Chains A and B, each alone.
Chain A
Amino acid sequence: EVQLVQSGAEVKKPGESLKISCKGSGYSFTSYWIGWVRQMPGKGLEWMGIIYPGDSDTRYSPSFQGQVTISADKSISTAYLQWSSLKASDTAMYYCARYLNVLPRAFDYWGQGTLVTVSS
């Protein structure tokens, strides 16, 4: 069974750093891209970026380039999303999802989400 299991909810202060994780199982982790999607409270889905764990090829949305870092450790089938200095506006639910760049060219499996709250 394909599963993406994300790390737990986080409460941080502005200026702090954070790294959240997404562990894949039940499939070949290095053969699919892993994307990250932000959903701010009461708002829609925003694609942040994507990584291919097989060779760490990473692409970012222009809106998030330089704001976050996406990485992966294929030895433990885990992808990461990290911030070096959080802002209150980073408060959101963050989802990871599996993506294949041939059919279906869509996010077919999703993690359960990690809620990040940034507040002083």
Chain B
Amino acid sequence: RKEVEQDPGPFNVPEGATVAFNCTYSNSASQSFFWYRQDCRKEPKLLMSVYSSGNEDGRFTAQLNRASQYISLLIRDSKLSDSATYLCVSRGGTGGFKTIFGAGTRLFVKA
């Protein structure tokens, strides 16, 4: 079983739609969680950190449920420029900073 699992998609949505991505992690000792964005043939870049209390950054909202070992990302009012692969990331456990990426969820936003 992979340490971080995501639905690979692709998700095809029209502009303006709301889309949600889910992710589960298997290492209960993981301490920090993130969403990264990766554009085609580019390197991953941090989108946002994920906190237990939930956090929002503009049109993006991230949630963490430690009891269920579940992480989510909600994108409201999708833009064409949101088309990318979204990578779920967990870090830590046993005091280290090992950082594990999921396989990614592909999003296509269409006009």
Binding partners A and B: no
Query: Which residues of B are at the interface with A, using a C-beta cutoff of 8 A?
Result: none
Query: Which residues of A are at the interface with B, using a C-beta cutoff of 8 A?
Result: none
